[in-house]
A and B are shown apart, each in its own frame.
Chain A
Amino acid sequence: MDKHGNKTVIGAGATFTGKITNARVIEVHGKVNADLTAEKVTIGEAGHFDGAIRADLVVVSGHYEGKMQAGSVWATATASISGKLHYETLQMDRGAALNCHIVYNWAAKNAVAAQTDKDDMDLPLPKPSDKAKNGVESTSPKEGA
């Protein structure tokens, strides 16, 4: 392992609960229940992340549940995501399981994000008009196998 690489790793045998801020690059292979702010987040195949993520790039190969606000999201074939996903670019590999509310951030993303955030706090389902305006709603939990 590149011990000196500028990278934080939560290994496969690790469990973390709490709050992580200022992490540049973080890899999660264990169980994390946390709020995280980072530049790049990788959730490994065995990784379990439960909590909010704010990051520029998120690569999900494991299990994610929570509210993610990311620039780019890459859900690989083994990913399973539930909760909420705010993204600007999204890549989803064949087999990825998304069972979540997916919102594309338009140019006025801050306003939209703030608005939908508020809505979703109160209501489990956003208004149909919001959906139509803000992005795509995906409710397909089926994994392509």
Chain B
Amino acid sequence: MFGKNSVSPVAPPNHSQINEDVRIRGTITVSEPLVMAGQLDGEINADTLHIASTAIITGEVAAKSVTIDGRVLGSIVADKVFLSATAHFEGQLHCKGVAIGKGAYVDAKFTQEPAING
């Protein structure tokens, strides 16, 4: 029973990842890169955040740098935001710099903070 489970404890990875089939309600706080591909209802606080195309996020996102390929409904507070062509974003965006790819759906209230020291 145990023999076939070759799950020897591995060295802790330096990033976090939430898979696409995962559903989460709550708060994630990460001081390292986070790849979010699942469904989240709640809050994310991260450094570098990648919201994959399969992700559906409802709630608040705060990060230094956010790349969005999936759906976000809610608010984003970040330094840098990149909404790719597959992104779907509704809500409020507060950031220093934003890039929106061609084809992205954005329905947002946008406030920009002047970039002072990056």
* A interface, CB within 8 angstroms of B: 1, 3, 6-27, 29-30, 34, 40, 42, 44-47, 57, 59, 61, 72, 74, 76, 78, 89, 91
B23 CB to closest chain A CB (Å) equals 5
A123 to B16, CA, bound (A): 38
Interface segment, B2-10, B63-71, B78-86?
Answer: B2-10
> Given A16-B28, A46-B12, are A23 and B21 neighbors across the interface (CB < 8 Å)?
yes
From B16, B26, B34, B35, A18 is in contact (CB under 8 Å) with B26
Residues of A within 8 A of B30 (CB): 11, 13-15, 30
Q: Are A11 and B32 in contact (CB under 8 A)?
A: yes
> Which A residue sits closest to B14, measured CB to CB?
A11
* B interface, CB within 8 angstroms of A: 1-2, 5, 7, 9-10, 12-19, 21-32, 34-35, 38, 42
Q: Are B2 and A19 in contact (CB under 8 A)?
A: no
> Given A11-B12, A44-B9, A72-B2, are A23 and B19 neighbors across the interface (CB < 8 Å)?
yes
> Given A7-B19, A18-B24, A23-B21, are A12 and B34 neighbors across the interface (CB < 8 Å)?
no
Q: Are A7 and B27 in contact (CB under 8 A)?
A: no
> Which A residue sits closest to B27, measured CB to CB?
A17
A23 to B32, CA, bound (A): 21
A26 to B19, CA, bound (A): 9
| A interface SS class | strand
B47 CB to closest chain A CB (Å) equals 8
12 A-B pairs with C-beta separation under 8 A? A12-B12, A14-B16, A14-B28, A16-B28, A18-B24, A20-B26, A21-B23, A24-B19, A25-B19, A29-B13, A40-B7, A42-B9
Residues of A within 8 A of B1 (CB): 72, 89
Q: Are B13 and A11 in contact (CB under 8 A)?
A: yes
From A10, A44, A57, A72, B16 is in contact (CB under 8 Å) with A10
Q: Are A15 and B29 in contact (CB under 8 A)?
A: yes
Residues of B within 8 A of A18 (CB): 24-28, 42
Residues of B within 8 A of A1 (CB): 13, 15, 17
Residues of B within 8 A of A89 (CB): 1-2
> Given A13-B31, A14-B30, A14-B34, are A20 and B22 neighbors across the interface (CB < 8 Å)?
yes
Q: Are A19 and B17 in contact (CB under 8 A)?
A: no
Residues of B within 8 A of A45 (CB): 9, 12
Residues of B within 8 A of A9 (CB): 13, 15-17
The 7 closest A-B pairs by CB, nearest first: A18-B26, A11-B16, A29-B12, A13-B31, A12-B12, A14-B30, A13-B32
